[in-house]
Amino acid sequence: MAEHDYFGAIDGYWDDVIEYGDQRVEVSVECDDEPAPRALDAAADLLRGLEWLDEELREHLVGELGRGGAVVEFVNAVLDPEHESSEEITDAIGRDSGDREIDLLRSLELLRVEIRPESDGDGEHFAELEYAIAPNDTDERLLVVVDLDRAPVEVRFDG
């Protein structure tokens, strides 16, 4: 069992709901072995700076629009006029800059952060952040994986 100032006792699993801005975010820390104190410190720092990380990742997602891949698949799926929840999606896009794709990405809700403190090497999947638009009405999710240094490692579309 690991003990940490931020998390308290962690015996394989820890979870909580944190709030910032108008978002409620489910947070979990999962580990099979006892995580290194450095990894738990990094996990605590990630959660303390979640608002900053969230902003950075949204900008990263916007930058991915021109590259194709998971972000474009996600955007195309949820902005499809034939989507069964297109009205709810339109209502959930809280910005109107004239670029609907960027407005969508900046209007995403951060739903969940899953941290794996055992994955503390460069490029490893340290944390996964789950985003959605109109999450009560849609199943499509955009998953962003970051390493210990909070650098994006992978973006996946789950739909």
pLDDT tens column, 49-73: 999 999 999 999 999 998 889 999 9
Residue 104: CB atoms within 10 Å: 23
Three-class DSSP category at 11? coil
pLDDT of 6 over the 70 cut: yes
pLDDT band of 120, cuts 50, 70, 90: low
pLDDT digits (tens, 9 = 90+) for 87-117: 999 999 987 888 999 999 999 999 999 999 8
Predicted TM-score of the model (pTM): 0.93
- Encode pLDDT of 8-59 as tens digits: 888 888 999 998 878 899 999 998 777 878 889 999 999 999 999 999 999 9
Whether 78 and 89 have beta carbons less than 8 Å apart is answered as: yes
The angle at the Cα of 136, spanning 63 to 74, to the nearest 5 degrees, equals 25
pLDDT at residue 136 above 90? yes
pLDDT at residue 159, as a whole number: 86
DSSP state of 15: E
pLDDT of residue 23: 86
Each residue of 16-30: b (16+ CB within 10 Å) or e? Answer: eeeeeeeeebebebe
Higher pLDDT: 43 or 3? It is 43
